[in-house]
Amino acid sequence: MSEIQRLLRPELRGRQPYGAPQLDVPVRLNTNENSYPLPDNVAAAIEKAVFEVVRGLNRYPDREAGALRADLASYLGHGLGVERVWAANGSNEILQQLLQAFGGPGRTALGFTPAYSMHPLISASTGTAWIDGGRDADFDLSATDAAEQIRAHRPDVVFVCSPNNPTGTALGLDVISSIMDASEGLVVVDEAYAEFAREGTRSALTLLDGHPRLVVSRTMSKAFGFAGARLGYLAADAAVVDAMRLVRLPYHLSALTQAAARAALGQADTLLATVAAIRDQRDRLVSELAALGLRVAPSDANFVLFGGLADSSAVWRSLVDRGVLIRDVGLDGWLRVTAGTPTETGAFLDALREVLKEQA
């Protein structure tokens, strides 16, 4: 063991940093980004907003990010006010702040895996012990099964990813309610992909009133196509927001980020116009992959998990050879692909057809 490994906290020793392989290929459908660049009028509004704060960068930004949080609250609706919304540099930072406040040494967090791989990693980095909850063979999670797992482990924090990454499927509110009833801890519903959900899918935001232990985490990285700006947020009881103030670094959200995010929210309708196009490509992927005889998980997100592959690593590699990068999420026989533009999605499907024919 090296000197630094010896000094490192034991739970971090030997761990790999999170990171999808980034390869310079023409079609990149591996990180569930929004494939559409910001339209010119939105870009111009953001440039103007950023320009206006540049001269004031000698001063620290609004520590409370009050105006931005008010804008986020009105975007979310559901009667939420600024005191029930918190913002940070990406929803990963939101999740980290939640664990800094509610997890930590001697405490546990449980998630129903396969789910977002950062949930266990952020748990480890905050000294929170991780409990691997499970799903059934179809990656489904019933209300009874979820409640039984919670009662068996009594975690301090429960992560529910809905729509779930990497499977794509959203959970019914009956499952979330059952988890809340069974749990005595904080229930964090990670809704990073909420805007892409199929018609009729209800957000956990509708459950917030009267449930002070419920937190809904969101991001501008996906539907808003704003991943590079780093803006995540949560909605919860005002007491949860107060707890975030105890752990956040002072001035954690730069004046540039706050200005850019507010300008983007001011153009929400234009930015969210890509959601319908992306959903179409998602539904196209679901039907065309099924038509190829593959197993396909129902998707409420901007990506699709497909399986029934004899050698998923070989398929992944052959797609890269054809200039298409998708994600091997470590589930044997399955791969995950982001819904891109019609051209990107078509290029992926064409390449996959070739690869499957070649490997048949």
Residue 223 Cβ, how far from ligand PMP at the closest point, in Å?
11
- Amino acid symbol at 59: R
**Interface residues with ligand PMP (CB under 6 A)?**
32, 90-92, 116, 161, 165, 190, 192, 219, 221, 227, 232
Q: Minimum distance between the CB of residue 12 and ligand PMP, rounded to whole angstroms?
A: 20
Nearer to ligand PMP, 61 or 166 (CB): 166
Q: Which amino acid is at 15?
A: R
Q: Cβ 213 to ligand PMP, closest distance in Å? A: 20
CA 224 to chain centre: 13
- CB proximity list for 273: less than 8 A, separation 6 or greater: none
Q: Which is nearer to ligand PMP, 90 or 288 (CB)?
A: 90
- Give whichever of 260 and 351 is closer to ligand PMP, judged by the CB atom: 260
For ligand PMP, give the closer residue by CB, 30 or 178: 30
Q: How far apart are CA 67 and CA 258, in angstroms?
A: 8
Closest C-alpha to 70, from 342, 261, 299, 246? 261
3-state secondary structure of 87: strand
Pull the structure tokens for residue 77.
């609706």
Please say whether the beta carbons of 127 and 266 come within 8 A.
no
Tokens of 159: 């992560």
CB 204 within 8 A of CB 176: yes
- Round to whole Å and give the CA distance between 10 and 96: 19
In the bound state with ligand PMP, the residue whose beta carbon lies nearer, of 65 and 351, is: 65
Least Cβ distance, residue 355 to ligand PMP (angstroms)? 25
Smallest gap from Cβ 52 to ligand PMP, in A, equals 25
Kindly state the smallest distance separating residue 146's Cβ from ligand PMP, in Å: 17
Would you call 223 helix, strand, or coil by DSSP?
Answer: coil
- Tell me whether residue 115 or residue 207 sits nearer to ligand PMP (CB atom): 115
